[in-house]
Amino acid sequence: MDPLRCRRAVPMLLLLLVARVAGCHADVPRETAQATASGDSGASPRAVSASPVERPTPPNGFPVLPGARPEALPADDPAAIARWTSGKVGPVAYQFYVEALPAAGYPISGLFPGGTVAIIRFEAPGDATWQLVLTRTGDGTRIEVRLDQP
């Protein structure tokens, strides 16, 4: 195949691929996460789902940064367990979880502070390891509990 013909075929193939992928995911239900208000930093998150995706949920008493608001979970990311946003900056959220996770019975197995993203690996129920991913969003922080990834 000559190079000019290849340059014309590649955009068309990419367009077909994008259209195919978009069509496959058009009817996937949305996941949501919500925290039950208990009036303290121990608000318990739970995943609400109409999809067949099975997600673990943080148990009652899982520490939640005070003032954090629950956010919907992405339907196409089964590794996401719970998600919140907070108006507090990353270092405040990071320090809260460094102290709150072990105090709530979740031993920390790795601390990875960062500028825009910080990760805390911790031991979860059932001998699992989860991650707490803190990401800067505007003037605040997105807090996400995820299944551990290598």
Quote the number of domains for the chain.
Answer: 1
pTM higher than 0.85, yes or no? Answer: no
**Residue 2 belongs to a domain:** no
| 6 in a structural domain | no
Q: How buried is residue 29: exposed, middle or buried, by Cβ count under 10 Å (0-12/13-18/19+)?
A: exposed
Residue 51 lies in a domain: yes
Q: Is residue 128 part of a domain?
A: yes
Q: Does some domain include residue 1? A: no
Each residue of 67-88: pLDDT tens digit? Answer: 999 999 998 999 999 999 999 9
In this structure, is residue 8 part of a structural domain? no
Give the residue carrying structure tokens 């608001």: 69
Domain-located, residue 46: yes
Helices (H) and strands (E) in the chain, counts: 2, 8
Helix (H) or strand (E) holding 129: strand 128-137
Task: Show the tokens assigned to 91.
Answer: 């270092």
pLDDT, one tens digit per residue, over 1-38 is 444 443 333 333 333 332 333 333 333 233 323 332 23
Q: What contacts 104, CB < 8 A, 6 or more positions away?
A: 42, 61, 62, 63
What does the DSSP 8-state code read for residue 87? Answer: S
Residue 67, domain member (yes or no): yes
Q: Copy the structure tokens of residue 17.
A: 């691929």
Which residue segment(s) compose the domain that 129 sits in? 32-147
